[in-house]
Amino acid sequence: MPHAFVLRRRVHFYETDAAGIVHFSTFFRYMEEAEHALWRENGLSIFPAAVTHGWPRVAASFDYKRPLRFEDEFEVHLRVEQVTTRSLRYACRVECRGEVVADGGMTIVCVERAADHTLRAVPIPEPIAALFRPPVA
């Protein structure tokens, strides 16, 4: 039952600006890519074929320490920091050559879609919550 995941990757050219530096918004995609890998590692999909719940993002942030450049090999370290009744909070660290590139986080909320397409926050199904609860120290 992993509650953490490390994604190893290389910067692609299309992720960079004219100076060859990764655009700040791309870090959110890296975090989401690691999130989806974490869910797969736990035998789940964040968007399964039989969708019963949605997982919108309600908060996301990054603090940038140094740039990532075209062709850099890097790691995205994602861990579940908190599980509440209706939400999951991730902590994310991006590292390149042993140096911290950025620290961030994201909060997602479990929702159901009503017939009128409105979303309503609901408790996370216990089998999912149990997979992601961080170990008690």
Per-residue pLDDT tens digits for 34-63: 999 999 999 999 988 777 789 999 999 999
Q: How many residues does the chain have?
A: 137
In tens, the pLDDT along 103-129 reads: 999 999 999 988 888 899 999 999 999
CATH at residue 31: 3.10.129.10
> Over pLDDT 70: what percentage of the chain?
99
Q: Shortest CA distance to 3 belongs to which of 42, 34, 32?
A: 42
Residue 113 lies in a domain: yes
Mean of per-residue pLDDT scores for the chain: 94
Residue 73: per-residue pLDDT? 98
Residue 77 lies in a domain: yes
Residues noted as catalytic:
17
Looking at the structure of the chain, the number of domains it has is 1
pTM above 0.85, yes or no: yes
Q: Kindly state the greatest CA–CA separation across the chain.
A: 49
**Sheet bearing 4-10, strands edge to edge:** 4-10, 73-83, 87-96, 99-109, 57-64
- Its domain, for residue 126, covers 4-132
Residue 88 lies in a domain: yes
Residue 137 lies in a domain: no
Residue 51: per-residue pLDDT? 75
Residue 115 lies in a domain: yes
CA distances, 128 to each of 3, 13, 22, 42, 48 (Å) = 11, 36, 33, 9, 13
The pLDDT confidence band at residue 137, using thresholds 50, 70 and 90, is low
Residue 64 lies in a domain: yes
Residue 1: per-residue pLDDT? 53
